[in-house]
Amino acid sequence: MKLPRKTEKQKERAQEILDHLYMYYPNPVCELNHRNPFELLIATILSAQCTDVRVNKVTPALFETYPTPELMAEAPLEELEELVRTTGFFRNKAKSLKETSQTLVDNFDGKVPANMDDLLTLRGAARKTANVVLGNAFGINHGVVVDTHVRRFSNRFGLTKHKDTVEKIERDLMALFPQENWTDLSHLMIHHGRGPCKARISKAPDHDLCINYGKNCECQKMRGK
């Protein structure tokens, strides 16, 4: 993936933001509960258009019943649909779980592959899902996960000029931040976006991250009231 050029000044500012994020959230982790790469893959597929909290309520029963790709591949589709119903789009998601599990059995000896190209052959696993699995299950910083929180943070803090093109936002972030921090970066931005820097700000910030670096941040407007 070809990355855009960034100046040293831009990279220095990005590093300052990263340092502040680590200060506020010193132990960034994936909030999808999982015990192995397969569980993380399935949980991430279910997280599309759904909260991590909801997914974490669904997956215990799902993994207790179908803990391996072999068992999930053989599961009746109707039973999978019922188990994941509350995550939304449950029929399509159930098909993805079943077909993905079958692909793992047929093509990868029942194991989740640890590379982007193979992950993208799995139904329901786009680049975002693949980045989640690679970074959190295998410790491979292949890219940056861009969800709604990361997109909003990136725009509010002037890290990208792109509003909706996820691929371009990801490339901007990859060009600005050290590769060894890419997996943490998304968790840090998500923590901040779910916490003090929500889509709608109700009060002025009590921290200096948005105050000092939030170029387009709603926190700045609240501070001026």
Q: Which residues are catalytic?
A: 128, 147
Other Cβ atoms within 10 Å of 109 Cβ, number: 9
Other Cβ atoms within 10 Å of 35 Cβ, number: 9
The per-residue DSSP string of 2-67 comes to PPPP--HHHHHHHHHHHHHHHHH-SS----S--SSHHHHHHHHHHTTTS-HHHHHHHHHHHHHH--
- Distance of alpha carbon 191 from alpha carbon 185, whole angstroms: 10
The residues, ordered by sequence, that sit 6+ positions from 56 with a Cβ below 8 Å of its Cβ are 31, 32, 33, 43
Q: How many CA atoms lie within 13 A of 86 on its CB side?
A: 12
Q: How many CA atoms lie within 13 A of 126 on its CB side?
A: 10
The residues, ordered by sequence, that sit 6+ positions from 64 with a Cβ below 8 Å of its Cβ are none
The residues, ordered by sequence, that sit 6+ positions from 66 with a Cβ below 8 Å of its Cβ are 72, 75, 80, 101
- Distance of alpha carbon 92 from alpha carbon 72, whole angstroms: 15
